[in-house]
Structure 1
Amino acid sequence: MYEEKVRKFKCYYCPDCKLYAGSETKIVHGRRMKPNTKYCTGGKKIIIFRSDDPKVNVPKWCPKRRVPPTLRIYHFRSPEIEAGESMLAANGISFFPYPSRYAVRYEGESPYTAMEFAKQIKNHSLAELLSMQLLPYEILEIDDGIRPYCFLVERLGHVRCIRFKSDIARKSKYEESGGKAI
Protein backbone atom coordinates (compact mmCIF):
# COMPACT_ATOMS: atom_id res chain seq x y z
CA MET A 1 0.00 0.00 0.00
CA TYR A 2 1.19 3.53 -0.76
CA GLU A 3 2.80 5.32 2.18
CA GLU A 4 2.65 9.10 2.05
CA LYS A 5 5.44 11.31 3.38
CA VAL A 6 4.79 14.30 5.61
CA ARG A 7 6.06 17.38 3.83
CA LYS A 8 5.82 21.10 4.36
CA PHE A 9 2.96 22.55 2.38
CA LYS A 10 3.96 25.04 -0.31
CA CYS A 11 2.10 28.29 -0.77
CA TYR A 12 1.89 27.93 -4.54
CA TYR A 13 -0.43 24.90 -4.11
CA CYS A 14 -2.97 27.11 -2.34
CA PRO A 15 -5.74 28.58 -4.52
CA ASP A 16 -5.73 31.75 -2.38
CA CYS A 17 -2.08 32.60 -3.11
CA LYS A 18 -1.97 34.90 -6.12
CA LEU A 19 0.56 36.98 -8.03
CA TYR A 20 -0.12 40.35 -9.63
CA ALA A 21 1.94 40.19 -12.80
CA GLY A 22 0.88 43.49 -14.35
CA SER A 23 3.43 45.90 -15.77
CA GLU A 24 2.29 48.97 -13.82
CA THR A 25 1.04 49.79 -10.32
CA LYS A 26 -2.69 49.11 -10.02
CA ILE A 27 -5.33 48.77 -7.30
CA VAL A 28 -6.46 45.13 -6.99
CA HIS A 29 -9.02 44.08 -4.35
CA GLY A 30 -8.68 47.50 -2.70
CA ARG A 31 -4.89 47.23 -2.28
CA ARG A 32 -2.17 48.95 -4.31
CA MET A 33 -0.19 46.30 -6.18
CA LYS A 34 3.22 46.83 -7.73
CA PRO A 35 4.37 44.54 -10.55
CA ASN A 36 5.17 40.98 -9.36
CA THR A 37 3.41 41.38 -6.01
CA LYS A 38 2.47 38.13 -4.27
CA TYR A 39 -0.69 38.30 -2.17
CA CYS A 40 -3.13 36.06 -0.26
CA THR A 41 -6.92 36.19 -0.49
CA GLY A 42 -7.54 33.50 2.15
CA GLY A 43 -8.66 35.79 5.00
CA LYS A 44 -11.18 38.58 5.34
CA LYS A 45 -8.66 41.10 3.98
CA ILE A 46 -6.09 40.82 1.23
CA ILE A 47 -2.60 40.31 2.67
CA ILE A 48 0.45 41.29 0.66
CA PHE A 49 3.57 39.18 1.21
CA ARG A 50 6.45 41.13 2.74
CA SER A 51 10.02 40.80 1.54
CA ASP A 52 11.02 38.85 4.67
CA ASP A 53 8.20 36.28 4.31
CA PRO A 54 9.14 32.80 3.05
CA LYS A 55 9.24 32.64 -0.73
CA VAL A 56 7.86 29.09 -1.04
CA ASN A 57 6.67 27.77 2.36
CA VAL A 58 3.56 28.95 4.18
CA PRO A 59 4.18 32.03 6.36
CA LYS A 60 3.32 32.12 10.08
CA TRP A 61 0.55 34.68 9.48
CA CYS A 62 -1.40 32.46 7.05
CA PRO A 63 -5.14 32.95 7.78
CA LYS A 64 -5.84 29.23 7.23
CA ARG A 65 -3.33 28.03 9.83
CA ARG A 66 -4.74 26.54 13.06
CA VAL A 67 -2.67 26.90 16.22
CA PRO A 68 -2.72 24.42 17.92
CA PRO A 69 -3.59 21.83 15.26
CA THR A 70 -6.75 19.75 15.53
CA LEU A 71 -6.44 16.05 16.38
CA ARG A 72 -9.16 13.68 15.17
CA ILE A 73 -9.35 9.95 15.73
CA TYR A 74 -11.52 7.87 13.41
CA HIS A 75 -12.90 4.45 14.29
CA PHE A 76 -15.11 2.04 12.30
CA ARG A 77 -18.76 3.12 11.99
CA SER A 78 -20.11 -0.25 13.09
CA PRO A 79 -18.93 -3.49 14.71
CA GLU A 80 -19.80 -5.39 11.51
CA ILE A 81 -17.37 -3.30 9.45
CA GLU A 82 -14.70 -3.71 12.12
CA ALA A 83 -15.16 -7.50 12.19
CA GLY A 84 -14.95 -7.73 8.39
CA GLU A 85 -11.78 -5.66 8.19
CA SER A 86 -10.20 -7.60 11.07
CA MET A 87 -10.91 -10.89 9.28
CA LEU A 88 -9.22 -9.56 6.12
CA ALA A 89 -6.19 -8.46 8.12
CA ALA A 90 -6.00 -11.80 9.96
CA ASN A 91 -5.84 -13.59 6.59
CA GLY A 92 -3.00 -11.34 5.45
CA ILE A 93 -5.11 -9.32 3.04
CA SER A 94 -4.35 -5.62 3.27
CA PHE A 95 -7.26 -3.26 3.01
CA PHE A 96 -7.59 0.40 2.15
CA PRO A 97 -9.38 2.53 4.75
CA TYR A 98 -12.40 4.03 2.98
CA PRO A 99 -13.79 7.22 4.59
CA SER A 100 -17.35 5.90 4.35
CA ARG A 101 -16.45 3.11 6.81
CA TYR A 102 -15.13 5.46 9.50
CA ALA A 103 -16.63 7.96 11.94
CA VAL A 104 -15.01 10.48 14.28
CA ARG A 105 -14.41 9.03 17.74
CA TYR A 106 -12.46 11.94 19.24
CA GLU A 107 -11.72 15.55 18.30
CA GLY A 108 -9.50 17.92 20.26
CA GLU A 109 -6.23 19.84 20.27
CA SER A 110 -3.08 18.11 19.07
CA PRO A 111 0.15 18.43 21.06
CA TYR A 112 2.12 17.98 17.80
CA THR A 113 2.08 19.17 14.23
CA ALA A 114 2.04 16.43 11.59
CA MET A 115 5.75 16.95 10.89
CA GLU A 116 6.66 16.75 14.61
CA PHE A 117 4.47 13.65 15.06
CA ALA A 118 6.10 11.87 12.10
CA LYS A 119 9.57 12.56 13.55
CA GLN A 120 8.61 11.56 17.13
CA ILE A 121 6.87 8.31 16.15
CA LYS A 122 10.18 6.95 14.79
CA ASN A 123 11.79 7.15 18.25
CA HIS A 124 8.85 6.77 20.66
CA SER A 125 5.84 4.51 20.96
CA LEU A 126 2.33 5.73 20.26
CA ALA A 127 1.36 5.35 23.93
CA GLU A 128 4.21 7.68 24.95
CA LEU A 129 3.17 10.39 22.48
CA LEU A 130 -0.59 10.44 23.07
CA SER A 131 -2.51 10.34 26.32
CA MET A 132 -5.10 7.92 24.93
CA GLN A 133 -5.04 4.34 23.73
CA LEU A 134 -5.53 3.76 20.00
CA LEU A 135 -6.86 0.51 18.60
CA PRO A 136 -5.54 -1.22 15.47
CA TYR A 137 -6.87 0.19 12.17
CA GLU A 138 -7.94 3.48 13.71
CA ILE A 139 -6.96 6.62 11.85
CA LEU A 140 -5.27 9.55 13.52
CA GLU A 141 -5.68 12.88 11.68
CA ILE A 142 -3.63 15.99 12.47
CA ASP A 143 -5.13 19.05 10.76
CA ASP A 144 -3.24 22.33 10.88
CA GLY A 145 -5.84 24.07 8.72
CA ILE A 146 -3.60 24.05 5.67
CA ARG A 147 -3.23 20.35 4.93
CA PRO A 148 -4.46 17.48 7.10
CA TYR A 149 -2.25 14.40 7.44
CA CYS A 150 -3.65 11.00 8.41
CA PHE A 151 -1.86 8.13 10.09
CA LEU A 152 -3.14 4.54 10.09
CA VAL A 153 -2.53 2.64 13.33
CA GLU A 154 -1.55 -0.92 12.52
CA ARG A 155 -0.94 -3.90 14.78
CA LEU A 156 1.74 -3.59 17.47
CA GLY A 157 1.41 0.20 17.52
CA HIS A 158 3.08 0.70 14.14
CA VAL A 159 1.86 3.88 12.44
CA ARG A 160 2.15 4.97 8.81
CA CYS A 161 1.03 8.06 6.97
CA ILE A 162 -1.75 7.49 4.42
CA ARG A 163 -4.08 9.42 2.16
CA PHE A 164 -7.53 9.65 3.71
CA LYS A 165 -10.11 12.19 2.55
CA SER A 166 -12.31 12.70 5.58
CA ASP A 167 -15.75 14.28 5.36
CA ILE A 168 -14.78 16.57 8.27
CA ALA A 169 -11.98 18.24 6.29
CA ARG A 170 -14.24 18.72 3.28
CA LYS A 171 -17.06 20.11 5.43
CA SER A 172 -14.78 22.60 7.18
CA LYS A 173 -13.38 23.82 3.83
CA TYR A 174 -16.98 24.11 2.56
CA GLU A 175 -17.95 26.19 5.61
CA GLU A 176 -14.84 28.40 5.26
CA SER A 177 -15.65 29.08 1.61
CA GLY A 178 -19.06 30.45 2.65
CA GLY A 179 -21.07 27.53 1.33
CA LYS A 180 -19.56 27.59 -2.17
CA ALA A 181 -18.74 24.29 -3.85
CA ILE A 182 -15.09 23.24 -3.60
Structure 2
Amino acid sequence: MATSHPLQVTSPSSPSSPRRHVVAAYMDLTRDDCLRLFPSGRLISQTFRLAGRQFFLSAHCNMDQMDTFHCFGLFLAMAKEDEEGGSSSASVPLTVDYDFAARTRRPSGEDGDDEFVSVYMGYYEFRGGKAVGYRNLFGTPWDSFMADGSVFFVDGVLHLRAELHVKEAPFFF
Protein backbone atom coordinates (compact mmCIF):
# COMPACT_ATOMS: atom_id res chain seq x y z
CA MET A 1 0.00 0.00 0.00
CA ALA A 2 1.37 3.43 -0.95
CA THR A 3 2.09 5.97 1.73
CA SER A 4 -0.26 8.91 1.96
CA HIS A 5 0.78 12.46 1.13
CA PRO A 6 0.90 14.88 4.08
CA LEU A 7 -1.75 17.56 4.59
CA GLN A 8 -2.03 20.60 6.78
CA VAL A 9 -5.57 20.86 8.12
CA THR A 10 -7.12 23.82 9.92
CA SER A 11 -10.58 24.13 11.43
CA PRO A 12 -11.57 27.78 11.62
CA SER A 13 -14.55 28.43 13.85
CA SER A 14 -17.21 31.08 14.14
CA PRO A 15 -20.37 31.35 16.26
CA SER A 16 -22.48 30.13 13.32
CA SER A 17 -20.14 27.28 12.38
CA PRO A 18 -18.72 24.85 14.94
CA ARG A 19 -15.11 23.72 14.34
CA ARG A 20 -16.01 20.15 13.51
CA HIS A 21 -18.13 21.28 10.54
CA VAL A 22 -15.54 23.47 8.75
CA VAL A 23 -12.14 22.35 7.46
CA ALA A 24 -9.46 23.82 5.23
CA ALA A 25 -7.08 21.13 3.94
CA TYR A 26 -3.81 22.24 2.33
CA MET A 27 -1.83 19.88 0.10
CA ASP A 28 1.50 20.93 -1.44
CA LEU A 29 2.88 18.97 -4.39
CA THR A 30 6.35 19.53 -5.78
CA ARG A 31 6.91 19.60 -9.50
CA ASP A 32 8.54 16.15 -9.10
CA ASP A 33 5.41 14.85 -7.31
CA CYS A 34 3.37 15.98 -10.31
CA LEU A 35 5.85 14.56 -12.84
CA ARG A 36 5.47 11.14 -11.21
CA LEU A 37 1.69 11.30 -11.80
CA PHE A 38 2.08 11.27 -15.60
CA PRO A 39 0.48 9.58 -17.54
CA SER A 40 -2.18 8.00 -15.31
CA GLY A 41 -1.04 8.13 -11.69
CA ARG A 42 -2.66 9.38 -8.54
CA LEU A 43 -1.49 10.60 -5.17
CA ILE A 44 -3.67 10.16 -2.08
CA SER A 45 -3.46 12.52 0.91
CA GLN A 46 -3.57 11.64 4.57
CA THR A 47 -7.12 11.34 5.88
CA PHE A 48 -8.73 14.12 7.86
CA ARG A 49 -11.98 14.36 9.80
CA LEU A 50 -15.01 16.46 8.98
CA ALA A 51 -18.22 16.09 11.01
CA GLY A 52 -16.99 12.78 12.42
CA ARG A 53 -16.21 11.27 8.99
CA GLN A 54 -12.84 10.58 7.38
CA PHE A 55 -12.03 12.17 4.03
CA PHE A 56 -9.00 12.46 1.77
CA LEU A 57 -7.85 14.39 -1.29
CA SER A 58 -6.66 12.62 -4.42
CA ALA A 59 -4.51 14.29 -7.11
CA HIS A 60 -4.56 12.63 -10.56
CA CYS A 61 -3.13 12.82 -14.03
CA ASN A 62 -5.90 11.65 -16.32
CA MET A 63 -7.44 12.28 -19.71
CA ASP A 64 -9.91 15.12 -20.16
CA GLN A 65 -13.57 14.23 -20.67
CA MET A 66 -13.20 14.20 -24.46
CA ASP A 67 -10.18 11.84 -24.12
CA THR A 68 -7.98 14.23 -26.13
CA PHE A 69 -5.23 15.27 -23.69
CA HIS A 70 -3.77 14.58 -20.25
CA CYS A 71 -4.63 17.01 -17.45
CA PHE A 72 -4.39 17.53 -13.67
CA GLY A 73 -7.39 16.49 -11.58
CA LEU A 74 -8.29 16.87 -7.91
CA PHE A 75 -10.93 14.89 -6.01
CA LEU A 76 -12.40 14.76 -2.50
CA ALA A 77 -13.55 11.35 -1.26
CA MET A 78 -14.88 9.73 1.89
CA ALA A 79 -12.39 7.22 3.34
CA LYS A 80 -13.19 3.51 2.88
CA GLU A 81 -13.70 2.67 6.56
CA ASP A 82 -16.56 5.16 6.58
CA GLU A 83 -17.87 3.88 3.23
CA GLU A 84 -17.98 0.29 4.45
CA GLY A 85 -19.81 0.92 7.67
CA GLY A 86 -16.82 1.39 9.97
CA SER A 87 -18.72 4.33 11.38
CA SER A 88 -22.37 4.18 12.37
CA SER A 89 -22.88 7.62 10.81
CA ALA A 90 -21.54 6.47 7.40
CA SER A 91 -25.00 5.49 6.15
CA VAL A 92 -26.37 8.99 6.83
CA PRO A 93 -25.81 11.32 3.84
CA LEU A 94 -23.54 14.29 4.46
CA THR A 95 -23.78 17.37 2.23
CA VAL A 96 -20.55 19.34 1.94
CA ASP A 97 -19.92 22.74 0.34
CA TYR A 98 -16.46 22.64 -1.21
CA ASP A 99 -14.11 25.19 -2.73
CA PHE A 100 -10.96 23.95 -4.49
CA ALA A 101 -8.29 26.64 -4.81
CA ALA A 102 -4.67 26.91 -5.93
CA ARG A 103 -2.03 29.47 -5.10
CA THR A 104 -0.97 31.24 -8.27
CA ARG A 105 2.18 33.17 -9.01
CA ARG A 106 1.69 36.86 -9.68
CA PRO A 107 3.09 38.14 -12.98
CA SER A 108 6.52 39.82 -12.74
CA GLY A 109 6.34 43.41 -11.64
CA GLU A 110 3.07 43.08 -9.70
CA ASP A 111 3.22 43.86 -6.00
CA GLY A 112 1.80 41.62 -3.32
CA ASP A 113 2.04 38.02 -2.25
CA ASP A 114 1.01 35.06 -4.32
CA GLU A 115 -2.57 34.20 -3.39
CA PHE A 116 -5.05 31.35 -3.47
CA VAL A 117 -7.52 31.59 -6.32
CA SER A 118 -10.76 29.62 -6.25
CA VAL A 119 -10.81 27.17 -9.16
CA TYR A 120 -14.03 25.18 -8.62
CA MET A 121 -16.74 25.23 -5.99
CA GLY A 122 -20.04 23.55 -5.39
CA TYR A 123 -21.70 21.13 -3.03
CA TYR A 124 -21.96 17.36 -2.95
CA GLU A 125 -24.01 14.88 -0.96
CA PHE A 126 -21.68 12.10 0.18
CA ARG A 127 -23.15 8.64 0.37
CA GLY A 128 -20.71 5.74 0.75
CA GLY A 129 -18.44 5.03 -2.19
CA LYS A 130 -18.61 8.37 -3.97
CA ALA A 131 -16.22 11.25 -4.60
CA VAL A 132 -16.43 14.72 -6.08
CA GLY A 133 -13.80 16.46 -8.13
CA TYR A 134 -12.61 17.70 -11.47
CA ARG A 135 -10.70 15.75 -14.11
CA ASN A 136 -9.23 18.99 -15.49
CA LEU A 137 -8.96 21.26 -12.44
CA PHE A 138 -7.13 24.07 -14.23
CA GLY A 139 -8.79 23.79 -17.65
CA THR A 140 -5.44 23.27 -19.34
CA PRO A 141 -3.53 20.38 -20.92
CA TRP A 142 -0.83 18.64 -18.84
CA ASP A 143 2.07 20.13 -20.86
CA SER A 144 0.85 23.70 -20.21
CA PHE A 145 0.19 22.92 -16.55
CA MET A 146 3.76 21.56 -16.12
CA ALA A 147 5.51 24.21 -18.28
CA ASP A 148 8.36 26.23 -16.78
CA GLY A 149 6.28 29.43 -16.89
CA SER A 150 3.18 27.85 -15.32
CA VAL A 151 1.49 30.21 -12.84
CA PHE A 152 0.41 27.19 -10.77
CA PHE A 153 3.91 26.41 -9.47
CA VAL A 154 5.20 28.91 -6.91
CA ASP A 155 8.90 28.26 -6.29
CA GLY A 156 8.46 24.75 -7.75
CA VAL A 157 5.47 23.83 -5.56
CA LEU A 158 1.78 23.43 -6.42
CA HIS A 159 -0.18 24.71 -3.41
CA LEU A 160 -3.73 23.33 -3.24
CA ARG A 161 -6.50 24.15 -0.76
CA ALA A 162 -9.87 22.49 -0.24
CA GLU A 163 -12.24 24.47 1.99
CA LEU A 164 -15.08 22.30 3.20
CA HIS A 165 -18.22 23.21 5.10
CA VAL A 166 -20.95 20.80 6.16
CA LYS A 167 -24.40 21.98 5.09
CA GLU A 168 -26.78 21.41 7.96
CA ALA A 169 -29.97 19.55 7.14
CA PRO A 170 -33.08 21.67 7.69
CA PHE A 171 -35.20 20.73 10.66
CA PHE A 172 -38.91 20.17 10.11
CA PHE A 173 -41.49 20.35 12.88
TM-score by length of 1: 0.26
Q: Highest CA radius of gyration, 1 or 2?
A: 1
> Which structure carries more relative contact order (alpha carbon 8 Å, separation 6+)?
2
- Structure with the higher fraction of residues in helix conformation: 1
